[in-house]
Structure 1
Amino acid sequence: MQPSESVRRIGVLIRHNLLLMLGEPGPLLSRMILPLVFLTLLRPLYAAAQGRAAGTEQAVVGTLVIFSLLALSISGSAILTERLGRTWDRLRGTALHPVEILVGKAVPVFAALLAQQLLIVGFGVCVLDLRVPHPLLLLGVLLCWSCTLLALGALLGVLVRGMGELSAAYDIGGMLLSSLGGALVPLGELPHWVAVVAPVSPGYWAVEGLRAALTGDARTVAEVCGVLLAVALACGILASGRLRGRSGRLVAL
């Protein structure tokens, strides 16, 4: 197989999946607009409690983590729709390589997840005077966090049996993981046991990484990125194994 031919096929798949996503823009738009409304309303509360600069940082970080976890719906529904439509088997029956199929599906979702986060940060910088003195560190965390979200959403998409279960999973799971991570309320203000169990939540590492990036703590950023990528790899392996099934065929519902 010629590399150029593979790239062409991947490009076709990316365009196709992007058109599918944009064909029903409601969920995507809600994940873009609601965080900005939430952030605007939440920031004065944090500013009054922690001061203007610290309150703005907490509001932006918290909003980003909460709504990016809720955006698991974008990744999960991309996989679940294929399962419900029974199109995975048809795709695998073509000349397409499994890696090409996965990349074609993953790239538009990854772009949507990253765009949501960049929009929140950009709104914080342009409207709320958030300071980002180390943009490369911040971008590194956002990229790693997007990979984790992509893999988590894919795992949800292969485990649930329908859209109702998926909705419950990302609503409940998103709020639980973000709350345990200290996104909504700083861990220092929560009971001690929450701080003890917080590291089991990917949201905890996202919060820690974003704060470290904003303060220029490169060592913590590197540690957080390592953890997030390890979680992404584990979830990706589990999702891939579930999709393939023991016989190498995609698992039917």
Structure 2
Amino acid sequence: MPRESAARLWVLIRHNVLLMAREPGPLLSRMILPLVFVTLLRPLYTAGQGESAGTEQAVVGTLVTFSLLALGICGSAILTERLGRTWDRLRGTVLRPAELLAGKAVPALAVLLAQQFTVVGFAVCAFDLSVPHPFLLLGVLLSWSWALLGLGALLGVLVRSLGALSAAYDIGGMLLSSVGGALVPLAALPAWAADVAPASPGYWAVRGMRAALAGDAYAVAESCGTLLCVALVCGVAASVRLVGRGGRLVAL
């Protein structure tokens, strides 16, 4: 029943919020470090690109880079449950894989959006970042956050240790953001980088955020559509990985 499913989902969300609140250190670092990063790198970008373009590059690059590193929030939440054999205790219950993933995803989504709103708000107040089309930017941030949650959930059900998860999102996050043009504009990278960049979700996040700031609705729609496809594919793959015979959860 929809009402029963909503009740189960609410219990899972509340439980996962409490777990995150008990360890606030990683969350606080993901809020504070991006502000330091954008403050230190902005002069470098403005010196080469001008005040407005440099500020935009610093903010977009920071948003994409640090939100990619934050995808470990969702992955580690799932992996911790696996290592604690929680999935074993859930076998045979009425809980569905989609409910379990959503219970992990909703608190992580709140953290990702809070991180991104903090960076944008800080840039608007401290560096006069212009956001003439806030709803376009909001659409990109939501789509990007869902893509990150899908990627994080998929990592969480595939890797077998916290060390492997850490390596995956540290190395993978830096590669996806760098190749996507977050830290350095694609025009300044080798020619091959521009050819492979569209394969990176980070590329579409960067493209979408810049288009949102410029008011290019078509490019925003294209970027959001691509990011939501990434979220859907990864989310479905993670759910399938959690389902065993008869629709029961499997111990991974």
Scaled by the length of structure 2, what TM-score is found? 0.95
2:13 aligned residue = 14
Superposition deviation, residue 10 in structure 1 = 1.9
Question: Sequence identity of aligned pairs in percent?
Answer: 76
1:103 aligned residue = 102
1:187 aligned residue = 186
CA displacement, residues 76-113 of structure 1 (integer Å, 9 cap, x when unaligned): 10110111111123234333344333322211111111
Q: Which structure 1 segments of 5+ residues have no match? A: none
CA displacement, residues 144-199 of structure 1 (integer Å, 9 cap, x when unaligned): 00000000000111111111001101110000000000000000011111101100
Scaled by the length of structure 1, what TM-score is found? 0.95
Counterpart residue identity of residue 58, structure 1: Q
Counterpart residue identity of residue 136, structure 2: L
- Tell whether the 8 Å contact from 2:71 to 2:148 is kept in structure 1 after alignment: yes
- Tell whether the 8 Å contact from 1:73 to 1:170 is kept in structure 2 after alignment: yes
2:126 aligned residue = 127
Distance 2:124 2:245 in 1: 49
- Tell whether the 8 Å contact from 1:92 to 1:98 is kept in structure 2 after alignment: no
How many aligned positions are there?
Answer: 252
Distance 1:203 1:246 in 2: 35
Distance 1:192 1:14 in 2: 45
1:46 aligned residue = 45
Superposition deviation, residue 33 in structure 1 = 0.8
2:239 aligned residue = 240
Distance 2:250 2:163 in 1: 20
2:208 aligned residue = 209
CA displacement, residues 113-157 of structure 1 (integer Å, 9 cap, x when unaligned): 111111111111111110000000000000000000000000111
1:228 aligned residue = 227
Stretch of structure 1 that moved more, 86-95 or 187-196: 86-95
Match of 2:132, SS state, is: coil
Superposition deviation, residue 40 in structure 1 = 0.6
- Tell whether the 8 Å contact from 2:74 to 2:104 is kept in structure 1 after alignment: no
Distance 1:120 1:194 in 2: 27
Distance 1:180 1:131 in 2: 26
Distance 1:48 1:249 in 2: 57
Counterpart residue identity of residue 231, structure 1: V
